[in-house]
Structure 1
Amino acid sequence: MTLTQQSAPPRPPASDQPKRAGIGERALGKIFLTPSFAFMAVIALFPVIYAIVMSLYRITGFRREFIAGGNYAQLLSDGGFYNAVGNTLVFTVVSVAIEFVIGLLFALIMNQAFAGRGVTRAIILVPWVIPTSVAAQVWRYMFDQNPGFINSVLGIDVNWLNDPTWSMVGIISADVWKTAPFVALLLLAGLQTIPGEFYEAAEVDGAGAWRRFWSITLPLLRPAIIVALLFRTVDALRMFDFAYVFSGYSNSLATLSVYTQRYLYAEPELGYANALSTATFIIVMIVGVFFVRLMGPQTVDGAPSGRKGKKR
């Protein structure tokens, strides 16, 4: 056999061949996404940075006077600010706790198979669809002492709108009615991801309804619970509509958002208002970061809080 007739040497496997110079898919994806991320960062960060800068000035009309931390010193000695923080925390803790319990009950009901389930789901979700400002006006009218709808139904005579304690009860009731369906919707999405085989196996083993709920539903629903609580906690800390409609700028019931707007419109002090908005942002951010760091890993891999899941 001549040299020209000899077979060519085998080609090395594709994995052993030198890679062609160029941009990989991952790097190319980052390049394409960078403009979008940059645009979103500018949109999200600019108002925050602008508010922080403006909080360093005393603004009177069109005049600005740089006072460094003067507005923050005023904030730390402002009793109205601490009262607003207290009102916001009370509202957040109580309303989110009640919304979670009611939302979980609603989710369990909507997850069952029964005649008229679609209509039931629609009825439960109706309050969430109604605009918050409209719902606030309706609930304020119901709690008003003159028409006395709530008083007539309950057979009592309570001045709901002028008493700080009863006004807070009214605001929490209205907010629970409005947003419990949202929590139910998030939890329902989590319930529908739980395989039915788990319940069937537990039932064969003799586990009762409560045991199945405690040992199967709650552990597997944990990621959805964390997301629902996180969303509602952060949102409740920024609550404005119900508190403003019920009591206006009254210090006795003002939340952080209402107290901030007071210095934007009712008593214009734009520098101090920006300091209040910055403080509100910091409080919300701290709570959100703490919530995510404390319980966030469960939403990623289902691992218990504070432990990382095993890599597969």
Structure 2
Amino acid sequence: MTVRESQSALSDNARYARDGRASGSLRRERGTRVRRQRVRAAWLFLTPMLIVLAAVAGWPLFRTFWFSLTDASLSSLEGAHFIGLENYLVFDNGWYGILADPLWWQSVWNTLYFTLVSVSLEAVLGVIVALVLNAHFRGRTLVRAAMLIPWAIPTVVSAKIWAWMLNDQFGIINHMLLGIGVIDAPLSWTADASLSMWAVIMVDVWKATPFVALLVLAALQMLPSDCYEAAKVDGIHPVRVFFRVTLPLITPALLVAVIFRALDALRVFDVIYVLTSNAASTMTMSIYARQQLVEFQDVGYGSAASTLLFMIIALVTVVYLYLGRRQLGGES
């Protein structure tokens, strides 16, 4: 090959490289333009919903935050005066305010404990129930319909039913436990501070487990059967198949169920208030805020409690979604 031919070949390669880079740049620019158009279209469709959400939820939230900075009461909402952060924390020969109230921190602990224990139990039991209902057996449709009954019953109604069942004098739970010899004397399930929290957790788990099982069951119905047939042919133990194949595939649905249940548990009110009222051993943040707003008629103090409740729920949700996204991203 002569020098001229070599130079011609190099120039052709350079031209091809420039054309390739130009083509790649054009494709990237076109892809960026398409993504930009999709983002604009998404915001266009979301704008009406965001406006309605701002009117329905944003304004009450802003008003609650404003009341938390005032000394408003139910008898004088219009005559409230701005007091800054005194409802939250103030020093006047000692610390005062909601952040200095031991009962508030007790309610925070009760709420987090209730959420952690109840949601964990519901996730485990929900997966077990979903696996059972996913199996093939006679009467499966009837069992699936019966499973939804606890979830379909209104929370206040189911809590009142359980309140009668857990009664220490004529409740059927004590009657059954006495009959089989588990206990020697009736237990005050909703009055004893050492038992009341576990009683409300039991009621919440009974009611909410079908919701988790329903979402997990829907995910199980969509799993491909090829991997299970291959695992069966290879003689892999079913327990190993569950942890290696089934659980990773249903994790997204399980994460959705857990986040919904965690949000419900963090703002729980009705089931605990019906069973134990304002008992300090089971008081949650919602019950604490209600007590300040309604019973003590202190709108400013109760609004401060509601604002802190919102901030705690928002923080827990953001952290959970961040960790869940990282886990799913790492698995993918």
* TM-score > 0.5 by shorter chain: yes
Residue 164 of structure 1: aligned partner: 193
Residue 285 of structure 1: aligned partner: 314
State the alpha-carbon separation in 2 of the partners of residues 25 and 54 from structure 1. Answer: 40
8 A Cα contact 2:130 2:217, kept in partner:
yes
Residue 213 of structure 1: aligned partner: 242
8 A Cα contact 2:197 2:281, kept in partner:
no
1:153 aligned onto 2:176:
yes
Residue 3 of structure 2: aligned partner: none
Please list every run of 5 or more consecutive structure 1 residues that lacks an aligned counterpart in the other structure. Answer: 1-14, 16-23
TM-score, normalised on structure 1? 0.85
Shift of residue 31 of structure 1?
A: 3.7
Shift of residue 304 of structure 1?
A: 2.2
Alignment partner of 2:71: what SS? strand
Distance 1:31 1:169, change over 3 A: closer
Residue 330 of structure 2: aligned partner: 304
8 A Cα contact 1:297 1:303, kept in partner:
yes
Residue 65 of structure 2: aligned partner: 52
State the alpha-carbon separation in 2 of the partners of residues 25 and 259 from structure 1. Answer: 45
Shift of residue 133 of structure 1?
A: 0.2
8 A Cα contact 2:151 2:208, kept in partner:
yes
Shift of residue 297 of structure 1?
A: 4.8
| 1:157-306 alignment runs, 5 A limit | 157-297=186-326, 302-304=328-330
1:34 aligned onto 2:57:
no
Alignment partner of 1:194: what SS? coil
Alignment partner of 1:103: what SS? helix
State the alpha-carbon separation in 2 of the partners of residues 105 and 112 from structure 1. Answer: 11
TM-score, normalised on structure 2? 0.80
State the alpha-carbon separation in 2 of the partners of residues 285 and 33 from structure 1. Answer: 21
8 A Cα contact 2:107 2:280, kept in partner:
yes
Q: Which runs of 4+ in 1 moved over 3 A?
A: 24-33
Shift of residue 185 of structure 1?
A: 0.7
Distance 1:28 1:216, change over 3 A: closer
| Residue 64 (structure 1) aligned to one of 63, 77, 80 | 80
8 A Cα contact 2:190 2:276, kept in partner:
yes
State the alpha-carbon separation in 2 of the partners of residues 118 and 297 from structure 1. Answer: 37
One-letter identity of the residue aligned with 2:257: A
Alignment partner of 1:57: what SS? coil
Shift of residue 139 of structure 1?
A: 0.5
Alignment partner of 1:191: what SS? helix
Identity of aligned residues (%): 40
Residue 107 of structure 2: aligned partner: 84
Distance 1:107 1:68, change over 3 A: same
Distance 1:297 1:192, change over 3 A: farther
Shift of residue 39 of structure 1?
A: 2.0
1:122 aligned onto 2:148:
no
Shift of residue 36 of structure 1?
A: 3.0
State the alpha-carbon separation in 2 of the partners of residues 282 and 27 from structure 1. Answer: 30
Alignment partner of 2:88: what SS? helix
Residue 109 of structure 1: aligned partner: 132
- Deviation string, structure 1 residues 244-272 (Cα, Å, up to 9, x no partner): 01121222321111111111211110001
State the alpha-carbon separation in 1 of the partners of residues 245 and 41 from structure 2. Answer: 43
Please list every run of 5 or more consecutive structure 2 residues that lacks an aligned counterpart in the other structure. Answer: 1-25, 27-36, 90-96
8 A Cα contact 1:59 1:271, kept in partner:
yes
Structure that is richer in helix per residue: 2
Distance 1:75 1:130, change over 3 A: same
Residue 20 of structure 2: aligned partner: none
State the alpha-carbon separation in 1 of the partners of residues 45 and 198 from structure 2. Answer: 50
One-letter identity of the residue aligned with 1:39: V
Distance 1:42 1:121, change over 3 A: same
One-letter identity of the residue aligned with 1:115: R
| 1:124-143 alignment runs, 5 A limit | 124-143=147-166
How many residues are matched?
A: 281
Distance 1:192 1:251, change over 3 A: same
* The 10-residue stretch of structure 1 (80-89 or 28-37) with the greater mean CA deviation from structure 2: 28-37
8 A Cα contact 1:226 1:296, kept in partner:
no
Alignment partner of 1:121: what SS? helix
